[in-house]
Amino acid sequence: MAQTQADVPKLRLTEVHKAFGDNSVLRGMSLDVDEHEVVTLIGPSGCGKSTVLRCINLLEPIDSGAILFDGDDVSWPGYDANAVRRRVGIVFQSFNLFPHMSVVDNITLAPRKVLGRSRDVATEQAMQLLTRFGLAEKADDFPDRLSGGQQQRVAIVRALAMDPEMMLFDEVTSALDPELVAEVLEVIRGLKDAGLTMVLATHEMTFAREISTRVAFLDDGVVAELGTPEQIFDAPQVPRTQQFLARVGRAGRL
Amino acid sequence: MTESPGPVVDPARLSVVRRKGRRDMTVATVSTVLFFLVLGYVVASAPGWPAVQASFFNLDDARASWPKIWPAFLLNVKIFLIAEPIILALALTIAVLRGLRAPVLAPLRVVATIYTDIIRGIPTILLVFLMGFGVPALQLQGLTNSELFWGTVALIVSYSAYVAEVFRAGIESVHPSQRAAARSLGLNNGQGLRYVILPQAVRRVVPPLLNDFISLQKDTALVSLLGVVEVFNASTIYANSTFTYTSLVVAALLFIALTVPMARFTDWVSARMSRQQQG
């Protein structure tokens, strides 16, 4: 082994390309995420934020480049995608809870069927997580009975129940009423404090500034600018970043 | 925070709404009664009514034919009860096979597609004839020549193709994001199908499935074409021996007695499921 553990980032994207038909969404995106880091992806609609997260979780195959997880290229065709997904959790914009299952069944399904945990063990762990996020009394409810914020918190718990080494958040507050956004962001803050490695795509600039170790401004399928929140939000160097943040600021979202 | 006050309702509004409700109810009742009175009068005043009543609605004939018709009808019920579970299992298998993407299973996918295409193209009545007379004619060792058996098999073959398409429509109606969520949690394709996709798909197609059940209950009469004495044959035998048609009406009433509760059950299930969706 030439490289020591410290040299290998938790996640490394090298020159990732992804097109849907003729529409090139990722055009050579490169990015490193170290363990315990929180990297936020910001940028205009269609810049590739969601796509890159789906590619990291192998929900979309990439066309060129590599996605390295602990130094292993997991993006190569034929790599055991399920093995990667067991280690990387993802939370979607529209929650995607299973509507025919109670909250606790949503959470325990994968630990039982994929990790082979007994129902008792899985349920106990689910209840611990639900209690931690103030959802214990919702355990037996069906998703439709929950508010959007509660549903999204359950979706986060469902992903956490797999004990992931990394979490991906795909604009998880975009589908929520403004007064429900805070409760979801609070959960993500808690995860950062617990040291979880996270990659977030978000439109919540204030939150991005507060929570990120580093911020990546995505434009036209590449990382146009990368830096600490202070560098990106207070002194952006790239003109496209400056324009984007100015527009967002005018919309009152900064 | 103070205790929130109860709902505020203006009594004047309420009484207007209630009065309108009572008026609507009265109009509906009167018009329904009137409609059936007029219909009854038109039928009963028709010149041929006494003759029709004598041959179609004769209580004595109904009583006399009952011992022949009732046991025969139980045979129809038996055919249905045996065929239906097999149809459900077979159809679900076909629907799942059509959705498989693994390359090694490609031949199964092709067979399932051809099966549904061809079988749905053949009228059930022809399939009953072809299988009921054709398969025994092969004189294969170890196969029964029972018309009842092959008639039932023909119904199973025909309905499986239809019900498979109902299941497939259900599977395709589940949003792709559900599959993505299942996959993202590390569930493999089979697990995602079994625990996430199929439970939602089957729930959605319960009303159309029950509709096909009702249809099958009636189509059990097609087995009569092979000479099996089920309710249709039993009632025509009686009708031909007495030159009356009351026995056929009795058979029809038996089918209605079976299918109407099924139809109400279908509505009840649909209503219950839409309530469940809201919790």
> pLDDT tens, B43-52?
999 999 998 8
Residues 178-207 of B with CB under 8 A from A: 178, 180-188, 191, 195-196, 199-200, 203
* pLDDT of B20 strictly over 50: yes
Question: Rounded CA gap, A170 and A176, in Å?
Answer: 13
Q: Which residue(s) pair with A170 in the sheet?
A: A201
**What pLDDT band is residue A1 in, cutting at 50, 70 and 90?**
very low
The encoded tokens of residue B37 equal 């009175």
The answer to whether the Cβ–Cβ distance between B279 and A141 falls below 8 Å is yes
CA of B230, closest CA in chain A: separation in Å?
A: 42
* Contact of A198 with A38, CB cutoff 8 Å: yes
> How far is C-alpha B208 from the chain's CA centre?
8
**Partners of A42 in beta bridges:** A217
What DSSP assignment string belongs to chain B?
-PPPP-----HHHHHHHHHHHHHHHHHHHHHHHHHHHHHHHHHHTSTTHHHHHHHHS-HHHHHHHHHHHHHHHHHHHHHHHHHHHHHHHHHHHHHHHHT---GGGHHHHHHHHHHHHHHHHS-HHHHHHHHHHHHHHT--TT----HHHHHHHHHHHHHHHHHHHHHHHHHHHS-HHHHHHHHHTT--HHHIIIIIIHHHHHHHTHHHHHHHHHHHHHHGGGGGGGT--SHHHHHHHHHHHHT--HHHHHHHHHHHHHHHHHHHHHHHHHHHHHHHHT-
Compare CB distances from A113 to B183, B191, B203 and report the shortest one's residue.
B191
Mean pLDDT, residues B249-259: 92
The pLDDT assigned to B279 comes to 44
Residues from chain B contacting residue A114 (CB–CB below 8 Å) = 185-187, 191
**Start-to-end Cα distance in chain B:** 29
Local structure of A249: helix, strand or coil: helix
CB contact under 8 A, A85 and B181: no
* Cα–Cα dist A236/A227, whole Å: 9
Q: Does the beta carbon of B103 lie under 8 angstroms from any beta carbon of chain A? A: no
Residue B136 has pLDDT above 90, yes or no: no
**B177 touches A: beta carbon within 8 Å:** yes
Tokens of A44: 């205009």
Q: Which one of B181, B187, B196 has the shortest CB-CB distance to A114?
A: B187
pLDDT digits (tens, 9 = 90+) for B57-70: 988 888 999 999 99
User: Which stretches of chain A sit within 8 Å of chain B by CB?
Assistant: 57, 59, 81-83, 85-86, 89-90, 92, 94, 96-100, 109-110, 113-114, 141-142, 144-145, 158-159, 162
- Residues A17-21, mean pLDDT to the nearest whole number: 94
pLDDT confidence of residue A251: 76
**Distance between CA atoms of residues B150 and B133, nearest Å:** 8
* A90: nearest CA partner in chain B: B184
Q: Express each pLDDT in B257-269 by its tens digit.
A: 988 888 888 888 8
Of B184, B199, B203, the CB nearest to A90: B184
Closest chain A residue to the Cα of B204, Cα to Cα: A100
Residue A5 has pLDDT above 60, yes or no: no
Average of per-residue pLDDT across B132-139: 86
**pLDDT over 90 for what percent of chain B?**
60
Structure tokens at A193: 């404090």
Higher pLDDT, B269 or A112: A112
Residue with tokens 């997991």: A74
Q: Let me know how many helices (H) and strands (E) chain A has, helices first.
A: 9, 10
Average pLDDT value for chain A: 92
pLDDT above 70 for B277:
no
Residues 6 or more apart whose Cβ sits within 8 Å of residue A66: A12, A13, A14, A15, A16, A73, A75, A76
Instruction: Give CA–CA dist B16/A35, Å, rounded.
Output: 69
Name the residue facing A110 among B185, B200, B279 (closest C-beta). Answer: B185
At A253 the pLDDT is 63
H/E segment holding residue A40: strand A38-42
Shortest alpha-carbon distance between residue B277 and chain A (Å): 7
Which pairing describes strands A197-201 and A38-42: parallel, antiparallel, or unpaired?
Answer: parallel
Chain A residue numbers touching B186 (CB-CB < 8 A): 82-83, 85-86, 110, 114, 162
Give the separation between CA A247 and CA A250, rounded to whole angstroms. 5
A172-207 pLDDT per residue, tens: 998 888 888 988 999 999 999 999 999 999 988 999
According to DSSP, the β-strands at A214-219 and A38-42 are parallel
Q: What's the whole-number mean pLDDT along residues B91-100? A: 90
pLDDT computed for residue B135 by the predictor: 86
pLDDT computed for residue B145 by the predictor: 83
Residue B178: its chain A contacts at CB < 8 A? 96, 98
> Which ipTM value was assigned to this complex?
0.88
Mean pLDDT of A24-51: 93
pLDDT per position as a tens digit, A93-102: 999 999 999 9
| A2-8 contacts at long range (C-beta below 8 A, 24 or more positions apart) | A3/A71, A8/A68, A8/A70, A8/A71
Selecting from A98, A145, A158 the residue whose C-beta is nearest the C-beta of B279 gives A145
CB contact under 8 A, A97 and B200: no
pLDDT band at A2 (very low <50, low <70, confident <90, very high): very low
